[in-house]
């Protein structure tokens, strides 16, 4: 299968659409932003008020300076009022300052209080802005995470063949955090930068239009730098996240297979295999840091240049009587206020580019369309199936199977294309009867069972439940009517009782005990220290293979399903335990449709009908006695297993 996945990923990579732009990626956030329009609007209002208050205190500083300098009017140079009067904008601003008097203690007291009040109010508004906007970003993060899980739960197995678990986990954690930074700090600092710059520039123009024009000279250079470095950061961060996903997938595989790694003494080999992607990840981060270390100093150098321009040109204007000392101090203070927006511009650019790259990776999941859905369902969801199953000329090939690589034993056919896993299968299972399926490994037994549960999509009209195409049954109705024990037993990091009652709406101790007794597990559970409250560890690591299989059987039985599918569910138990389980299951199987897949003839000999699959085709069918009399594959398998039992008992 690994070869198939490798080839498939390569094929997908060759057909990838052109990369979406950063802004197009971020458009995927619009539905989430619309949901919190009120909170965002309130946050932006407090942000605008904070910017407005932030513009007032430099004016208060200028007024205090002119009061101490003895200027007859604020922002007018003493003794050259005629020269100042020629500049109408400054005169207008001068007249708008109330309660001013030169060398006045009263004026100093008033504007010192104004300064203190502005600083305090700005602190309150800053807290409110952060509390509202960062809070909204957390709410959207919650919605995004919930939507990601919802989408991942409805996607078909093919999606998980094409995407490794570790990579998906990286998208749902690291990438999601980068997107949240856009929604919180990104929006907040962007708004702060825009409001502060606009208001500050307006007031600076009133103080001295020529000096403001000098200050704005570096702006085009800043714009070009932001555009250039923004694109570089976006591309680098996209590659960094891809590298991190590869690392996460590698770690996840190693942790899941740690017992195999230790058993084969491959610790050093796995560490070496981890070293290369780890070095690549570090190298890409160093490259990003190098770019970032050029970007931020460039912005700081430009802001430092503007300070020099103000000192140079502002000093000349002050000496020529074109600006007062208070106006120059206020102007210089405004420039200090603008330094953070200029620095924040670079930081925000980094946040947005990282977030855009990450949102593009999240959109891959959010926009994935499940290929198995209820679009063709027409049967009422309240109607449960009786359990009759029919396969009509079923031919099935895995959608992930490529030329030269197979799944479940399917390989390349003589014609050069992928060989079907199942071919021309015609079979009817009456409601309430038991069908047993035997056959060599890779013959399609598990695939046939999976198609009944609609875990893979069969060709239209080839699988029917109660005489109706399986696509007409709502997925939830169909799957709630099926108790499935897969070949690969999976237990959750829960208690034994919690795993048994997994399919129930709420835990029922009595039903859990009954199901455990049917699966011949109750005695084992009683030997555990805390009984049904015993934690089984990740994937049931504390249980034996047989105990895990019996837990899975109890989990299927407790749901009281109309259709029971046991896919080689007794392979890890001994023959005596198998007989106990089958004895307990006979009462459960009575009156419900059962599909029993096994390599042991002892498991299936009491089935109503037995079919033998080989290379995806039914080669034999009948009862146990009929197949023995025929002397084919089944009879040969029975004799071999009988001989093995005799040798074991000898």
Confidence category of residue 451, pLDDT binned at 50, 70, 90:
very high
Q: Which of 133-142, 317-326, 404-413, 416-425 has the highest mean pLDDT?
A: 133-142
pLDDT of 136? 93
pLDDT of 92? 64
* Ranges of each domain in the chain: 21-366, 390-481+564-649, 488-560
Question: Residue 96 CA to chain centroid, in angstroms?
Answer: 55
pLDDT of 309? 81
pLDDT of 318? 80
Bridge partners of 429?
389
Do 390-481+564-649 and 488-560 come out as alike in CATH topology? yes
pLDDT of 450? 92
Q: Which of 590, 566, 380, 553 lies closest to 466 in space, CA to CA?
A: 380
* Neighbour tally for 621: CB within 10 Å: 16
Class of domain 488-560: alpha beta
Domain 390-481+564-649 has CATH 3.20.20.120: no
Mean pLDDT on 535-543: 81
Q: Is 382 exposed, middle or buried (0-12, 13-18, 19+ CB in 10 A)?
A: exposed
Contacts of 299 (CB under 8 A, 6+ apart): 222, 225, 342, 343, 345, 346
Round to whole Å and give the CA distance between 394 and 392.
Answer: 5
Which range is least confidently modeled, 137-146, 328-337, 598-607? Answer: 328-337
What would the pLDDT profile of 497-527 be if each residue is shown by its tens digit? Answer: 998 998 888 888 899 999 998 888 888 888 8
pLDDT of 314? 83
Q: 21-366 — its CATH code?
A: 1.20.1560.10
Hunting for tokens 């409110």 — which residue is that? 128
pLDDT of 82? 43
pLDDT of 15? 41
Q: Which of 565, 589, 563 lies closest to 473 in space, CA to CA?
A: 563
Q: Which of 390, 372, 378, 562 lies closest to 474 in space, CA to CA?
A: 378
Q: How does DSSP classify residue 491?
A: -
Q: Are 501 and 558 in contact (CB under 8 A)?
A: yes
pLDDT of 85? 40
Which range is least confidently modeled, 263-272, 276-285, 559-568? Answer: 263-272
Largest CA distance in the chain: 125
Confidence category of residue 87, pLDDT binned at 50, 70, 90:
very low
pLDDT of 1? 38
Q: Which of 571, 609, 260 lies closest to 427 in space, CA to CA?
A: 609
Which range is least confidently modeled, 55-69, 471-485, 574-588? Answer: 574-588
Round to whole Å and give the CA distance between 392 and 340.
Answer: 71
Cα 142 to Cα 33, 107, 172, 318, 424: the distances in Å are 13, 52, 11, 56, 48
Indicate whether 196 pLDDT > 90. Answer: no
Hunting for tokens 């063949």 — which residue is that? 161
Hunting for tokens 């039903």 — which residue is that? 511
Q: Are 419 and 22 in contact (CB under 8 A)?
A: no
Indicate whether 86 pLDDT > 50. Answer: no
Contacts of 627 (CB under 8 A, 6+ apart): 610, 612, 620, 634, 635
Phi, psi of 382 (to 5 degrees): -85, -10
pLDDT of 46? 94
pTM, entire model: 0.74
Mean pLDDT on 123-145: 92
Indicate whether 324 pLDDT > 90. Answer: no
Mean of per-residue pLDDT scores for the chain = 82
Indicate whether 251 pLDDT > 80. Answer: yes
Q: How does DSSP classify residue 443?
A: S
What would the pLDDT profile of 554-565 be if each residue is shown by its tens digit? Answer: 999 898 899 999
Which range is least confidently modeled, 1-10, 386-395, 587-596, 632-641? Answer: 1-10
What would the pLDDT profile of 21-41 be if each residue is shown by its tens digit? Answer: 677 888 888 999 999 999 999
Mean pLDDT on 472-477: 92
Q: How does DSSP classify residue 535?
A: B
pLDDT of 77? 57
Indicate whether 402 pLDDT > 60. Answer: no
Q: Is 131 helix (H, G, I), strand (E, B) or coil?
A: helix
Round to whole Å and give the CA distance between 63 and 93.
Answer: 11
Q: How does DSSP classify residue 321?
A: T
Confidence category of residue 417, pLDDT binned at 50, 70, 90:
low
Confidence category of residue 614, pLDDT binned at 50, 70, 90:
very high
pLDDT of 19? 58
Q: Which two tokens stand for residue 441?
A: 């490994």
Confidence category of residue 622, pLDDT binned at 50, 70, 90:
very high
389-396 vs 463-465, strand pairing mode = antiparallel
Round to whole Å and give the CA distance between 603 and 569.
Answer: 10
Q: Which stretches of 543-612 are DSSP H helices? A: 545-557, 575-589, 601-604
Q: Which two tokens stand for residue 130?
A: 């952060």
Round to whole Å and give the CA distance between 328 and 306.
Answer: 14
Round to whole Å and give the CA distance between 300 and 289.
Answer: 16
Q: What percent of the chain has pLDDT over 90?
A: 26
Q: Which two tokens stand for residue 78?
A: 């003493």
Q: Which stretches of 105-256 are DSSP H helices? A: 105-154, 157-162, 165-170, 176-181, 187-207, 209-215, 219-256
609-614 vs 617-622, strand pairing mode = antiparallel
Q: Which of 118, 122, 294 lies closest to 192 in space, CA to CA?
A: 122
Q: Are 104 and 158 in contact (CB under 8 A)?
A: no
Round to whole Å and give the CA distance between 187 and 181.
Answer: 9
Mean pLDDT on 234-250: 80
Q: Which of 3-7, 322-326, 492-496 has the highest mean pLDDT?
A: 492-496
Indicate whether 83 pLDDT > 70. Answer: no
Round to whole Å and give the CA distance between 195 and 189.
Answer: 10
Q: Which of 202, 217, 196, 193 lies closest to 312 in space, CA to CA?
A: 217
Which of the pair, 406 or 143, is modelled with greater confidence? Answer: 143
pLDDT of 69? 83
Indicate whether 216 pLDDT > 50. Answer: yes
Which of the pair, 468 or 15, is modelled with greater confidence? Answer: 468
Contacts of 353 (CB under 8 A, 6+ apart): 22, 230, 231, 233, 234, 237
């Amino acid at each position: 299968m690994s070869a198939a996945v490798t080839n498939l990923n390569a094929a997908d990579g060759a057909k990838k659409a052109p990369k979406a732009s950063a802004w197009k990626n971020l458009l995927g956030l619009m539905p989430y932003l619309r949901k919190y329009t009120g909170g965002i609007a309130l946050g932006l209002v407090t942000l605008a008020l904070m910017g407005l208050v932030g513009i007032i205190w430099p004016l208060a500083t200028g007024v205090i300076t002119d009061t101490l300098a003895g200027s007859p009017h604020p922002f007018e140079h003493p003794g050259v009022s005629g020269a100042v009067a020629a500049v109408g904008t400054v005169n207008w601003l001068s007249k708008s300052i109330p309660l001013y008097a030169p060398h006045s203690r009263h004026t100093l007291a008033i504007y010192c209080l104004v300064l203190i009040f502005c600083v305090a109010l700005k602190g309150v508004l800053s807290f409110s802005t952060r509390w509202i906007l960062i809070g909204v970003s957390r709410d959207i993060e919650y919605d995004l995470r919930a939507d990601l899980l919802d989408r991942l739960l409805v996607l078909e197995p093919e999606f998980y063949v094409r995407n490794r678990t570790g990579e998906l986990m990286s998208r749902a954690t690291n990438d999601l955090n980068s997107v949240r930074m856009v929604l919180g700090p990104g929006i907040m600092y962007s708004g702060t930068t825009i409001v502060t710059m606009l208001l500050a520039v307006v007031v600076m123009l009133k103080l001295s239009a020529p000096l403001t024009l000098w200050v704005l000279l570096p702006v085009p250079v800043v714009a070009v730098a932001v555009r250039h470095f923004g694109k570089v950061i976006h591309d680098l961060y996209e590659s960094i996240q891809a590298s991190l996903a590869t690392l996460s997938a590698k770690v996840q595989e190693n942790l899941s297979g740690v017992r195999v790694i230790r058993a084969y003494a491959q610790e050093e080999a796995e560490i070496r295999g981890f070293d290369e992607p780890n070095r690549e990840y570090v190298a890409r981060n160093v490259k990003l840091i190098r770019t970032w270390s050029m970007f931020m100093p460039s912005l700081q150098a430009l802001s430092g240049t503007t300070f020099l321009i103000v000192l140079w040109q502002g000093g000349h204007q002050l000496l020529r009587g074109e600006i007062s000392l208070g106006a120059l101090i206020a102007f210089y203070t405004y420039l200090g206020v603008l330094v953070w927006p200029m620095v924040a511009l670079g930081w925000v650019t980094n946040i947005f580019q990282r977030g855009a790259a990450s949102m593009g990776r999240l959109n891959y999941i959010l926009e994935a369309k499940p290929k198995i859905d209820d679009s063709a369902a027409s049967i009422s969801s309240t109607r449960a199936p009786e359990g009759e199953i029919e396969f009509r000329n079923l031919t099935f090939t895995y959608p992930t199977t490529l030329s030269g690589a197979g799944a479940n034993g399917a390989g390349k056919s003589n014609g050069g294309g992928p060989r079907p896993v199942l071919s021309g299968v015609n079979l009817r299972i009456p409601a309430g009867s038991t069908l047993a399926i035997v056959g060599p490994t890779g013959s399609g037994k598990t695939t046939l069972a999976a198609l009944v549960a609609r875990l893979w999509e069969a060709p239209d009209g080839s699988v029917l439940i109660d005489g109706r195409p399986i696509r007409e049954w709502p997925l939830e109705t169909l799957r709630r009517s099926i108790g499935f024990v897969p070949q690969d037993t999976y237990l959750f990091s829960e208690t034994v009782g919690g795993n048994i009652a997994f399919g129930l709406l709420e835990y029922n101790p009595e039903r859990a005990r009954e199901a455990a007794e049917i699966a011949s597990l109750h005695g084992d559970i009683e030997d555990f220290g805390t009984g049904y409250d015993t934690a089984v560890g990740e994937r049931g690591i504390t249980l034996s293979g047989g105990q895990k299989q019996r837990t899975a059987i109890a989990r299927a039985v407790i749901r009281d399903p109309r259709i029971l599918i046991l896919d080689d569910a007794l392979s890890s138990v001994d023959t005596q335990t198998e007989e106990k389980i089958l004895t307990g299951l006979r009462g459960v199987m009575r009156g419900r449709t059962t599909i029993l897949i096994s390599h042991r003839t002892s498991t299936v000999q009491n089935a109503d009908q037995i079919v033998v699959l080989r290379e995806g085709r039914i080669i034999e069918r009948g009862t146990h006695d009929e197949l023995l009399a025929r002397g084919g594959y089944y009879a040969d398998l029975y004799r071999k297993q009988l001989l093995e039992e005799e040798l074991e008992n000898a």
